Amino acid sequence: MKFIDEAIITVQSGNGGRGCVSLRREKFIPRGGPDGGDGGDGGDIIFKASSHKRTLYKFRHQKYSRAENGAGGQGQQKTGRAGKPLVIEVPVGTIISDADTGQILHDLIDPEETYAAAKGGRGGRGNKRFATSTNRTPRFAQPGEEGQTLKLKLELKLLADIGIIGLPNAGKSTLISVISSATPKIADYPFTTLTPNLGVVQNDFGEPFVVADIPGLVEGAHEGTGLGIRFLKHIERTHILVHMIDAAVIDQEDPLHAFRTINRELEFFSQSLAKKIQVPVLNKMDITGADKMAAAFQTAFGQTAFDQTALGSSEVMQISAVTGMGVKKLILKLSQLLEKSDEEQQLSV
């Protein structure tokens, strides 16, 4: 299944039912008068954030949705049945906006949160409502109001505490498979990961946290190169970034090339993204010669004036996702940074 993170759909709330024109005619009641009931209201269009939904894939085919119309009124002042609302389940983190103007209508960030996007039409009033002292037998009723038709854009941004970034084949998918129950596809060619993978890390150092590996970042990604900006937007909601670098292929002449390349793309895409806390991690330290490459990176990194407010620490962590070397230390570091981030957010409220 391909990851579909955007969709344009049309929704229509239900029409209101027509009011009833009816005159009461019963034995022994020669002048019963009007008794037409009101029409029922049309159904609303309601979006609901569901933790069971992971993608917007189904909207690739289901581009039109309509709620039920209200039923017409009946005699004996019976009101028509209201149309059932249509509840559309979407993943947590879905932004609903007007497809034509781009105006954001609602951001579904909490599980089970709902948003009524389109109100159903009101049912028409029956002729009983129009009886007056001068017109005791009205023979007309109101038609129901039409429902709303909206063209909406759905955009999904993954909700994760930690985003794992880096060039292709840095070992992002391997790491997420080791520290969580996620089972991403892993291979040694570029763009193995075509969809972000989410995993929950259960740890002994604090609350569990959610990690996401962000695929397809290459030089020029902010302009659409490779898998393009499609996945850059998913990093915006993460609290901390794990910046993974393949220690086995570090350029000795420019050890920071891979690190700078990704950070340049983040900066071009969003200034706020470039200022997120980063934890530099050298992976594949089990490979022969990786220690020399890592030493060159560490030296160059220490001599460069990086913005320390954006870095989780000046320490460059070294791991092997394959053998597990340094992975527990990395989890501890991330848990501490998340706890600190949560405390700072509480103080700022």
Task: For residue 272, give the nearest of 229, 308, 235 by alpha carbon.
Answer: 235
Residue 63, domain member (yes or no):
yes
Together in a domain, 12 and 74: yes
Together in a domain, 323 and 306: yes
Task: For residue 148, give the nearest of 186, 125, 122 by alpha carbon.
Answer: 122
For 263, phi and psi rounded to 5 degrees? -65, -30
Together in a domain, 210 and 328: yes
- Angle at alpha carbon of residue 213, lines to 210 and 261, rounded to 5°: 130
Please give the chain's pLDDT, 349 residues, in tens.
Answer: 334 578 999 999 999 999 999 988 777 666 678 999 999 999 999 999 987 887 787 888 889 999 999 999 999 899 999 999 999 999 888 999 999 999 999 999 888 999 999 999 999 999 999 999 888 889 999 999 999 999 999 998 766 788 888 888 888 888 988 888 666 555 454 444 456 677 788 777 777 788 888 775 655 544 544 444 555 666 777 888 999 999 999 988 899 988 988 888 888 877 777 788 899 999 999 999 999 999 999 999 887 755 544 455 567 999 999 999 999 999 999 988 888 876 665 555 4
pTM of whole model > 0.95? no
Residue 1, domain member (yes or no):
no
Residue 125, domain member (yes or no):
yes
Q: 107, 122, 156: which is the final residue of a domain?
A: 156
Together in a domain, 175 and 192: yes
CATH code: domain of residue 79: 2.70.210.12
Residue 333, domain member (yes or no):
yes
Together in a domain, 250 and 204: yes
What's the pLDDT score for residue 231?
Answer: 59
Per the CB < 8 A criterion, the answer to whether 258 and 293 are in contact is: no
What's the pLDDT score for residue 53?
Answer: 81
Cα(144)–Cα(37) distance, integer angstroms: 12
Together in a domain, 50 and 114: yes
Together in a domain, 222 and 132: no
Residue 77's SS3 state is: coil
Report the domain count for the chain: 2
Q: 100, 130, 156: which is the final residue of a domain?
A: 156
What's the pLDDT score for residue 2?
Answer: 39
Together in a domain, 186 and 294: yes
Together in a domain, 309 and 169: yes
And the tokens for 235?
């990093």
Residue ranges making up the domain that contains 110: 6-156
Q: 115, 138, 156: which is the final residue of a domain?
A: 156
Cα(297)–Cα(245) distance, integer angstroms: 10
Together in a domain, 126 and 203: no
How far from 57 is each of 47, 99, 105, 249, CA to CA, in Å?
16, 18, 21, 36
Residue 136, domain member (yes or no):
yes
270: DSSP letter: -
Cα(189)–Cα(323) distance, integer angstroms: 21
Task: For residue 239, give the nearest of 108, 315, 340 by alpha carbon.
Answer: 340
Per the CB < 8 A criterion, the answer to whether 128 and 88 are in contact is: no
Q: What share of the chain is helix, strand, coil (3-state, %, to 5)?
A: 25, 25, 55
Strand partners, 86: 45
Residue 84, domain member (yes or no):
yes
Cα(307)–Cα(280) distance, integer angstroms: 13
Together in a domain, 74 and 179: no
Q: State the residue for tokens 């289901």.
A: 62
Q: How far apart are the first and last CA of the chain?
A: 40
What's the pLDDT score for residue 219?
Answer: 57
Per the CB < 8 A criterion, the answer to whether 134 and 212 are in contact is: no
To which H or E segment does residue 65 belong?
A: strand 64-66
CATH code: domain of residue 282: 3.40.50.300
Residue 116, domain member (yes or no):
yes
Length of the chain: 349
Residue 252, domain member (yes or no):
yes
Together in a domain, 179 and 142: no
